[in-house]
Chains A and B, each alone.
Chain A
Amino acid sequence: MPKDEIKQTFRLVGTRPDRPDGLDKVTGRARYGADFSAPGMLWASVVRSPHAHARIKKIDASKALALEGVKAVVTRADFPEVPAGEYWDLQENTIAGERALYDGHAVAAVAATSQLIAHDAARLIEVEYEILPHVTDVDEAFKMDAPVIREGAADYSVPEGSPPNVVKVLDFGRGDVEAGFASADLVKEGHYTTEATHQGYIEPHACVGQLGSDGKGEMWVCTQGHWYIRRMCAGVLGIEAANLRVTASEIGGGFGGKTTIFMEPLSLALSRKSGGRPVKLVMSRAEVLRATGPTASASMDVKIGMTKDGKLTAATAVFRMQGGAFTGSPVDAALNCAFACYELPAVHHLGYDILANRPKAAAYRAPGAPMAAFAVENLLDEMWGELGLDPLDARMMNAAKEGTKSSYGPTFKRIGFEETLEAAKAHKNLSVKLGPNQGRGVAAGFWFNYNGDTSVSLAVAEDGTAQVSVGTPDIGGSRASIALMVAETLGIEYEDVRVSVVETGALGVNEPTHGSRATFATGKAAVEAAESAIKDMCRRAAKKWGIDEDAVEWVDGAARPAGPNAGKFPPLSIVEIAAKMSSTGGPIAGHYEGNPPGVGESFGTHVVDVEVDPETGRTEILRYLVVQDAGRAIHPSYVEGQYQGGAVQGIGWALNEEYVYGADGRLQNPVFLDYRIPVASDLPMIDTVIVEVPNPGHPYGVRGVGETGITPPLPAVANAIAAATGIRMHSLPISPSKLLAAMNAKRKG
């Protein structure tokens, strides 16, 4: 297939075979993070700060160490000094140094012969704290006189005289914004806030780590990226990366939250201190919520100008986001995504990354984009509504398309936003008549998608089947998708390809499964690997036939003489070539190491119908439609699954999920009973339409589908509530208390 031409019909791509790990996963055989044990294994437990901000005056572990079965206790003193930067931040977050920076910050860890003893021992470790003033709210943290989380954490971008917790400032745009607003018929501003939410993966973090006095170690861990685990643990512990072999277990969800380390170095440090015995560390749910990656909370100001026809003339965004006690809120991506769906003559973005006494933010599905969409799509909907325009038509009029210079810089190649709007408009849900207290909301969303460092190796077995070794953990069926693409390319059956996620010792570096990259980047790398194996097999056939290797083509799983030689020899199938591999040059394999170019953006349009109980402020989701451009759905079931899962996470964020901090700075709701993710009875079926505008940068047109889907639900739900009640909610979550109070205020006039 010539690279510049996108194929449209396939033998396997686009079918829905059973996933290769299906049987293991429905029988309980699949092994996740906490399911691994090693001989001689110890169990660990972590002591965490109950204070939002406190100086650690003394840690006394003598009682714990006196308990029978306790083998080691580690504190920050057991970690080497590392220079300021990523590894220092990671180390500080793994285990507090001078100060505990948030409720749940680890201060010590203990290893013992059983889990119960470890927990008992943790309770016996006495920590003396001096409580310091704290701040958890983003706007409070932005004040000049806010408690200072860390001196000297600001980077070069922060101007003199900024509030002390600002660590990064972003300022970019293009066009003449003032002229744009001046030429507008309608200009509006809005202030919006969103509370922090957690990825909420059902599997808590878990690992077994082993590290000997020789500096060589091993780790078994649930992660989205084991090379990241290796690099980060090595950086934090001061050991050599190649000496740590990391195996990724099956993973029970991540959504970005498992792309970094939290407690993994603790298990290695404990192992090293207890003579190299493996140490198992499994977080409780409360630890997950208190101490692992929530996303940021945001305070946002948006201003938009449009003509009376609804055409955008200019827009500005000022976003403030706290990402916990460390640099790294997703304010950057939030700004970049804010207006990406639309053509805009002039746009300006200003962003502040702010420290607060909360856990270090980790990536969460399209990091930053959902908050930005909540603000922007909310205001747009309000303005188009005021002008009496249909929300889909208005979006269509302004939609970014091929050739549009995006709000964040690059010019779009072929994209499918308009197609999603068309498909949404044609969907049957749009013709359902709504009743009293019901409303329909529309919103659009965007994610860049990503490539990243990728290594894949493929080998043909003696019987002509193929094994593919990849380094991106499979969270939602990527092994099936990769097998489909490889089988399609090699011209063999899906069942004859086995894709494995292999340990760090088996491949070059791989970035995690993040940025919606697994099917795009690992998939593309696997296809490249297959192509090079094909090339090798064609060469072997050419040699056998005594013709030029360029005169051989690969069709339907076999080498065939082509061009002038066409038909001269019978085709040599992969089975025949493989059977003779030993005598024709040895093993047949192909591999790819690189950063596959050709990323294609993914746009989506969501439409939701809600009903609001006017007496209680409770919102029910009646109908939900996700339309998104996948480029190409390799395995449509898992694409639909991504759409549905993303939409439902977004619904949770819109209605009920939030981090609730008390006046003491402690997290009030670190259990699923009170951190309210959607349950089955909260929801209708989630309708999906897969739009396929192939990405020219991928051999099968893949764009990546994991992230865009969480972006539109926040504003879509808010817009639907506005339609149902006449009230624009500017603050998430739209909890019943908040909505009822707003409805009462309106009723009172």
Chain B
Amino acid sequence: MSKIHVTTTVNGDTVEFLADPRETLLDCLRDKLGLTGSKEGCGTGDCGACSVTVDGVLVSSCLVLGVEAQGKSVTTIEGMDKDGELHPLQRHFVEKAALQCGFCTPGFLVAAKALLDKNPDPTETEVRYWLAGNLCRCTGYDKIVRAVMDAAAEMRG
């Protein structure tokens, strides 16, 4: 089995790994780089628990091959806080109880950040549709949507 050497940037750090071409970026992050913050809820693009950004674009890392990360810049949940200071979204998720089991949380946070980076003042409907690919079975989404809206408001100042 021929593995491919991949050099990529993850959360600002240059990393290298050997990937079988069948392995997804999610597999590589979790099992080769020890970044288990991105979760696998489905492995088929349906749940968003594996959300990361690649060159700034929000994707499901279970639908990206590890070898495709060559030369790219990947950001995961582990790169969201800066020097220990939480991103306002992270803070609002805790304060507003926007998580119950928390399994969907990394994916929601990464996806919500991608939204706010693009649209600092989304409507509730925009938030709900942007996050429609992030499944949460515990919360009914209410507190998640509120936390995103509140974080956006805080960030707008």
Contact = CB atoms under 8 A, between A and B. Distances in A.
Interface in B102-157: 102-106, 109, 124-125, 127-129, 131-146
A285 B140 contact: no
Contacts of A638: 97, 100
A680 B144 contact: yes
Interface stretch (A13-21, A485-493, A554-562, A583-591): A13-21
B142 A285 contact: no
A637 B142 contact: no
B101 A203 contact: yes
A121 to B, nearest CB: 13
A323 interface: no
B101 A253 contact: yes
B142 A21 contact: no
A201 B49 CA distance: 12
B76 A28 contact: yes
Interface string A108-120: 0000000110000
Given A202-B49, A681-B132, A648 B20 contact: no
Given A32-B39, A672-B46, A21 B102 contact: yes
Contact of B39 (A203, A637, A642): A203
Contacts of A284: 43
Given A26-B94, A28-B36, A202-B103, A672 B135 contact: yes
B81 interface: yes
A34 B40 contact: yes
A25 B99 contact: yes
A374 B35 CA distance: 44
A285 B60 CA distance: 15
A255 interface: yes
A748 interface: no
A499 interface: no
A476 B98 CA distance: 10
Contact of A251 (B101, B105, B140): B101
B101 A28 contact: no
Contacts of B55: none
A648 B141 contact: yes
A202 B86 CA distance: 25
B90 A27 contact: yes
Contact of B100 (A29, A31, A476): A476
B41 A202 contact: yes
A201 B47 CA distance: 11
A200 B128 contact: no
A305 B80 CA distance: 60
Interface in B12-46: 20, 22-23, 27, 30-31, 35-44, 46
A30 interface: yes
Interface in A632-657: 635, 637-638, 640-642, 644-649
A254 B101 CA distance: 9
A276 interface: no
Contact of B103 (A37, A116, A203, A678): A203
B78 interface: yes
A671 B141 contact: no
A547 interface: no
Contact of A16 (B22, B76, B97): B97
A200 B137 contact: yes
A647 B128 CA distance: 18
Interface residues of A, number: 60
A18 B95 CA distance: 6
Contacts, number: 190
A647 B103 contact: no
A624 to B, nearest CB: 9
Nearest to A635: B97
B58 to A, nearest CB: 15
Contact of A645 (B35, B96, B100, B146): B100
A115 B43 CA distance: 14
A35 B38 CA distance: 10
Contacts of A641: 97, 100, 138-140, 143
A644 B22 contact: no
B10 interface: no
Contacts of B91: 26
B137 A685 contact: no
B86 A649 contact: no
B100 A115 contact: no
B28 to A, nearest CB: 12
A477 interface: yes
B22 A116 contact: yes
Contacts of A252: 39, 41, 101-104
A733 to B, nearest CB: 17
B25 to A, nearest CB: 15
Contacts of A671: 42, 44, 46
Contact of B137 (A25, A202, A282): A202
Contacts of B127: 680
Nearest to A25: B102
A643 to B, nearest CB: 8
Contacts of B137: 199-202, 253, 255, 645, 649, 677
Nearest to B76: A28
B74 interface: no
Interface in A9-50: 16, 18-19, 21-23, 25-32, 34-35, 37
A537 B136 CA distance: 45
A509 to B, nearest CB: 24
A377 interface: no
A370 to B, nearest CB: 15
A204 interface: yes
A201 B137 CA distance: 6
Nearest to B138: A645
A27 B35 CA distance: 11
A686 B140 CA distance: 8
Contacts of B86: 23, 26-27
A644 B101 contact: no
B142 A685 contact: yes
Contacts of B81: 27
Contacts of A254: 101
A29 B140 contact: no
A1 interface: no
Contacts of A646: 140
B103 to A, nearest CB: 3
B94 A18 contact: yes
Contacts of B105: 25-26
A679 interface: yes
Given A21-B102, A22-B94, A648-B140, A685 B41 contact: no
Given A202-B103, A671-B42, A19 B94 contact: yes
A562 B146 CA distance: 49
Given A202-B104, A681-B132, A28 B77 contact: yes
B49 A23 contact: no
A27 B80 contact: yes
A673 B44 contact: yes
Contact of A680 (B35, B42, B90, B128): B128
Interface in A603-653: 635, 637-638, 640-642, 644-649
Contacts of B22: 116
Nearest to B95: A18
A250 interface: yes
A251 B133 CA distance: 21
Interface of B: 1, 20, 22-23, 27, 30-31, 35-44, 46-47, 49, 76-78, 80-81, 86, 90-91, 93-97, 99-106, 109, 124-125, 127-129, 131-146
Interface of A: 16, 18-19, 21-23, 25-32, 34-35, 37, 115-116, 199-204, 250-255, 282, 284-285, 475-477, 635, 637-638, 640-642, 644-649, 671-673, 677-681, 683, 685-686
11 contacts: A25-B94, A26-B91, A27-B81, A29-B37, A32-B103, A34-B39, A202-B137, A253-B101, A254-B101, A638-B100, A681-B128
Q: Which 3 A-B pairs have the closest CB atoms?
A: A28-B37, A252-B103, A648-B140
Given A19-B94, A680-B132, 6 more contacts: A18-B94, A26-B102, A285-B44, A476-B100, A476-B138, A649-B137
